[in-house]
Amino acid sequence: MKKELSEIKKRALLAKQRMKLGYWQKMLEERDRMITETADSSKLNIASDLRKKEYEIVNKVALGDDFAQKEERMYGRVKEILMRDENVTNPIGQLVDKEEYEQLDEANKQRYILELSAKFRELRERYYKEKSKYV
């Protein structure tokens, strides 16, 4: 029977893996490359923000965070919607979990739609940042 690792041990293992794989060295090299390629500091800030988000996502998924996995599934759906057509008329309607939505009362339905639209805007912004990174 395998023992569950404590949260701090999991984080220590992740940090050790990053050290072994040269993660931070790669980050420094990437930053230096970005500084030399662009004189525009706004692009550098966007790149560092994107790196932070990538780090947070990888860390959460590696730790088995259900919230991160749910968010990644939603990001996959948003990405799919935007790849089909960037001028979507009803993206929120496509993201709504109909079973969950039908069980809510009117106030919670409104709250659900508002939270979903805020999440969609956040994930759409992430999609465009990642898209511009690879273009």
Among 36-40, 57-61, 118-122, the least confident range: 36-40
Residue at 134 is within a domain? yes
- Please check the confidence at residue 24 and state whether its pLDDT lies above 60: yes
Q: Do residue 76 and residue 60 come from a single domain?
A: no
Residues 71 and 133 in one domain: yes
Q: Among 48, 64, 80, where does a domain finish? A: 64
What's the mean pLDDT in 82-111?
A: 85
Q: What global pTM score does this model have? A: 0.51
Domain holding 20, by residue range, is 7-64
13 conformational bin, left if phi > 0, alpha if psi -120 to 50, beta if neither: alpha
Same domain, 92 and 109: yes
Q: 25 with 50, same domain?
A: yes
Cα separation, 81 vs 91, in Å, equals 7
Is pLDDT larger for residue 65 or for residue 126? 126
Q: What Rg do the C-alpha atoms of the chain give, in angstroms? A: 19
- Of the candidates 122, 135, 127, 121, the residue with the CA atom closest to the CA atom of residue 76: 127
Assess if residue 131 is contained within a domain.
yes
Does 57 lie in the same domain as 29? yes
Of 53, 66, 24, 23, the C-alpha closest to 133 is 53
**% of the chain residues with pLDDT over 70:** 77
* Choice between 72 and 105, residue whose per-residue pLDDT is larger: 105
Average pLDDT of the residues in 121-125:
88
pLDDT band at 64 (very low <50, low <70, confident <90, very high): low
Same domain, 88 and 120: yes
* Poorest-pLDDT segment among 28-37, 72-81, 90-99: 28-37
Say whether pLDDT at 86 is over 60: yes
Same domain? 91 vs 59: no
The verdict on 32 and 82 lying in the same domain is no
Q: Considering its fold, how many domains does the chain have in total?
A: 2
